[in-house]
Amino acid sequence: MKVDIERAKEALLNGEVVAIPTETVYGLGGWIESPEGIQKIFLTKERPFFDPLIVHIDSIEKAKLLSSEWTEIHQVLAESCWPGPLTLIAKKASHIDSYITSGLDSVGIRCPNHPLTLKLLSLIPGGVAAPSANKFGKTSPTRFEHVEREFEGNVKILDGGPCEIGIESTVAGIENGEVKIYRPGFYTAQALSKILQDQNLNVPVLYAQSPVAPGQLKHHYMPNIPLVIIPENGTWETLKGPIEKQLEKKFSSPALWLQPENPLITSRELYEKMRSFEQQGNDIILCVQNKEWQSEDWKAIWNRLEKAKTISLI
Ligand code: TXA
Ligand code: MG
């Protein structure tokens, strides 16, 4: 149900959860100083406790209070990318509840770029922990209506309209003097590297190979109908047999999904599209691999599709 900023603030400070709009996806927020609010995030999402949460703040000053070791690299990236789709992992301050960090000694911090949420965050001391506002493992919500449907109208929502970016933030941390990207997003390794170089910080920026970030599970973002990645020249006529055999099921209404050429438009529509095929009555999604899939600008999109897929025929 819709709430305004004042009611959202009261609910958070009372230990309730509130869904908040960001430029990436909607988050399911709980006040970091309310153990009850934090518990409710996990319960509402049906999320396992080993998956740490990101804390949202509205200023670098607040971010520094959450961390016991805020480095020059953190400062430069925060100044350049915030408010925006970058989550920075930093050593945690001792007062942060270990439920938020899943017992890790680090914490994910992000300043989202959405006017309503920035206003709300300015009214909340400490910060607001928020994972994406979907049931665990499912497609992230990019519109008010998605959150409303996901939790059957039982969650308070600050309606901020459709999300601009459409996929989750880049998650980056520092390991042995190198910046490591644990989850690809709008900010690529190349983009972060340039920001650091411009400030005379010659720090390598690399994608983490193994899923060291907890919660980076193999299956994630999954729609309720099967999603199959198919080659560019694939057709339903030729693929129907092998797909039905592998999935041990018959399908009657396939949706052929071609990505737009522009990665920004593709990411903005990505989760919306995944949901709408099902709404339109399709019973399987055939996602066509495009030529660009290996380029860095498409990395985050294909990372999500790889995890959302049921099978791949590539
Ligand atoms: O764009 C976003 O980041 C959205 C919006 C709501 O801000 N939030 C989001 O949260 O995607 P969530 O919980 O779905 O994903 C957060 C990911 C986790 O899967 C985890 O891998 C990583 O961030 N993470 C959080 N804290 C971490 C930590 N201390 N160390 C390593 N990774 C961490
Ligand atoms: Mg999520």
Q: Write the pLDDT tens digit of every residue in 52-82.
A: 999 999 999 999 999 999 999 999 999 999 9
Q: Is the CB of 214 under 6 A from ligand 1?
A: yes
| Residues 33, 35, 41, 44, Cα dihedral to 10° | -150
The closest of 192, 201, 147 to 25, measured between CA atoms, is 147
| Ligand 1, atom 12: closest residue by C-alpha | 131
Mutation choice for ligand 1 from 54, 221, 271, CB with most ligand atoms inside 8 A: 54
- CA gyration radius, the chain: 20
Q: Is the CB of 21 under 6 A from ligand 1?
A: no
Q: Which two tokens stand for residue 99?
A: 């439920």
H or E segment to which residue 66 belongs: helix 60-66
What average pLDDT score do residues 145-170 get?
97
- Backbone φ and ψ of 247, nearest 5°: -90, -5
Task: Region of 241 please: left (phi>0), alpha (psi -120 to 50) or beta.
Answer: alpha
Q: Say if residue 291 is exposed, middle or buried (CB neighbours under 10 Å; 0-12, 13-18, 19+).
A: exposed
Q: Which residues surround ligand 2, an ion (CB under 5 A)?
A: 132
Instruction: Indicate the pTM of the whole model.
Output: 0.95
**Tell me, what's the pLDDT at 209?**
79
**pLDDT tens digit sequence for 160-196:** 999 999 999 999 999 999 999 999 999 999 999 999 9
How far is the centre of ligand 1, averaged over its atoms, from the C-alpha of 234 (Å)? Answer: 35
DSSP state, 2?
B
**pLDDT tens digit sequence for 196-242:** 999 999 999 999 976 555 556 667 888 999 999 999 989 999 999 99
